[in-house]
Structure formats: structure tokens, C-alpha cells
Amino acid sequence: MFVIASPGQGSQKPGFLSPWLEHPEHAATVGRWSESLGIDLVTHGTTSDLETITDTAIAQPLIVAAGILTGRALLAALPEDQLLSFAGHSVGEFSAAALSGVLTDEDALSLVALRGKAMAQASALEATGMAAIIGGEIDQVEAALVAAGLHPANYNGGGQVVAAGAQSALDAFATAPPAGMRVIPLTVAGAFHTPYMASAVQALAEAAAKTPSQDPRSPLYTNRDGSRVNTGRDALAYLVDQVARPVRWDYCMASFEKDNIEGMIELAPAGALAGLAKRALKGTPTVALNNPDDINTARDMVIAS
């Protein structure tokens, strides 16, 4: 079984959708989604600059749209009887929910657009941010973050924890990090997956309560604890509360290893999760889908297994 992985916020790069939108069918699909959401995903995926697509309200629907678009293209190219599983990192869980059948593409995009707007509003209340912490044992990193008044927001595996909190506290931590730890600021605009996002949780919960869901048609892993989600309602509930809860991508990768995943294919905008897998899942083949030609590489990997 192969896992199809959808990346999270911070993976976006200027112009990353350009090679995909050269295909008229893909361009028409993203154009239709743009009209529905009132967000010009075509422009943001092709010509908008990094500052523009770092805006949470734009980045989140753009990343999820890319995941769904490239995921559908990948599924169309793979054998129909191929066993697949799905997972997403943070906002990428919305792409995974759509591709596994929990949500329609349109409902996933509608919810994530609301999520992005609500998280942007929550971020505007106070100057906050996120930074990757490289090095140190998990318990040492956690203790250092607590002492600095910060929160562990993402446990990414491969020796990486992402810290979040007040920008002043992040700056102070980066200026004098504990021995053996390196701090890398991330291009996100708030302290995601922490209590700073409480107001966004409430807004998303109200919308999710009105959104239909189906049980996953394929195995779907959750960032909550790396387990498989059994019902659509559970999946939807987890999408809501993960806004203010740490992402346990390390647990997801541990589950991939336990379940003997044969390989991982990362959807656009790809690279971050494939990099983590190469460090934490040594020997597991990975393919990053950054242009349509990469689908052929992914298909060949799957067929050869």
C-alpha cells in the first residue's frame, strides 16, 4: 500500500501551479473553484509573489486546491485496484479528506477557505509566529519551549519540532537558543496549532456542523495521533480541533512504518514531506509531484512494486 501525502502551510512557492495549469482541464477546474470561493487561485498559483501567498487566508485554500487537483490527476493515472492510503500535514488534512471520500472537493475547499480567514483573523489579534527547531531530544525541546513561553505546534519527525507563540518570545529564543538547537523562522503568519487559534476553532466548528461527511473509502491517517480514522464524523471533528492542537506528523510516519507502507507520493506543492520521509523512513521510496511529468514517475514506482 502507498500513502498519498498532502503538505501543509509554508510549502507554497510562487508560480508552483503554473505547470499544472498549462493543461486546459486543470485550468478550468481551478477557475471554477476560484469563482466559488471568491479567491483568485489561478493568479495566486501562477503570478502572485511570496508575500501575497503567505497570507493565511490565501495560502490555505491555495494549498488544498493544489493537493486536490494533483491528487485527482494522480488517482486517474494509477491502476484502479491499487491499494492507497491518505494523510495530510496540518491544512493538508483537508486535501486528504477530500481524496479519501470524507468530503466533496467543494466542501473541503469551502471549509478551508473559512479556516484560513478565521485563522488570519485570530493571528491579527497579536504578533505571533512559528519557527522550526532542529536538534535536541524531544523532551529537551519541549522543556526549553515551556521555559520560553512557547508551544510545540508540529512534531514533524526526523528531529524537527516547530515552535509557535508570541513573536517576541520566538525572537528571544532564536537569539539565544539552547545548546544543540537551531531555530529557523517559518513563512507563516501566526501561532497555528496553539491556544492562540481558539476563535478559529469556534468558527470552523460552526461551519463543519452543517457539512455532510462520508466514511473514508480508503485508509485515512490523522495528525491527532497517527491512527486511522474510521468515520466521516470523526474525521471532520479532527479537522476542526487540529486548528489549536499540535500536529503529530511523527506519529503518522510511525504508523506508515508499522503498516509497511511501500512508498509515499507527496502532492503539490511538494518537497517538505518527502524530505521528512527520507530522514525518518529511510529506504522508503518517495516521489514529489511538482509538475505533471512527476505523475509518470509516481505511476512507475507504484506499478513496479
What domain range includes position 248? 2-124+194-304
Which 3 state secondary structure label does DSSP give 248?
strand
Residues 47 and 174 in one domain: no
Number of domains in the chain: 2
Q: Does residue 74 share a domain with residue 46?
A: yes
Q: pLDDT tens track of the chain, all 305 residues?
A: 999 999 999 899 999 999 999 999 999 999 999 999 999 999 999 999 999 999 999 999 999 999 999 999 999 999 999 999 999 999 999 999 999 999 999 999 999 999 999 999 999 999 999 999 999 999 999 999 999 999 999 999 978 999 999 999 999 999 999 999 999 998 787 999 999 999 999 999 999 999 999 999 999 999 999 999 999 999 999 999 999 999 999 999 999 999 999 999 999 999 999 999 998 999 999 999 999 999 999 999 999 98
Round to whole Å and give the CA distance between 133 and 119: 23
Look at residue 66 and give its three-state secondary structure. Answer: helix
Residues 164 and 27 in one domain: no
- Supply the residues annotated as catalytic: 90, 193
